[in-house]
Amino acid sequence: MLCCFCYQVSVEGDHRQYKHAIKRGRVTVAGHPADGLHPKTLASIFRQAQINRKR
């Protein structure tokens, strides 16, 4: 979902956790895959994944 190097490692209800093949840590994404993401949720995902976004 996040990038080609990420893979899903856990699902609890509507929360999914992803790991990156190289970077440490996990990224938690709430909601169902078909749902849209709130801008603040998307910002949190980028922060957890250590991805810099251009504004």
> What residues contact residue 10 under an 8 Å CB cut-off, 6+ apart?
16, 17, 26
Domain residue limits, the chain: 6-48
Neighbouring C-beta atoms of residue 53, cutoff 10 Å: 8
| Digit-coded pLDDT (tens) for 28-48 | 888 877 788 888 888 888 888
Q: Give the gyration radius of the chain's Cα atoms.
A: 11
Residue 2: pLDDT over 60: no
| Digit-coded pLDDT (tens) for 16-31 | 998 988 888 888 888 8
CA distances (Å), origin 5, targets 22, 35, 38: 8, 22, 23
CB-CB contact of 27 with 6 (8 Å) = yes
Beta-carbon-side half-sphere exposure of residue 18 (alpha carbons within 13 Å):
19
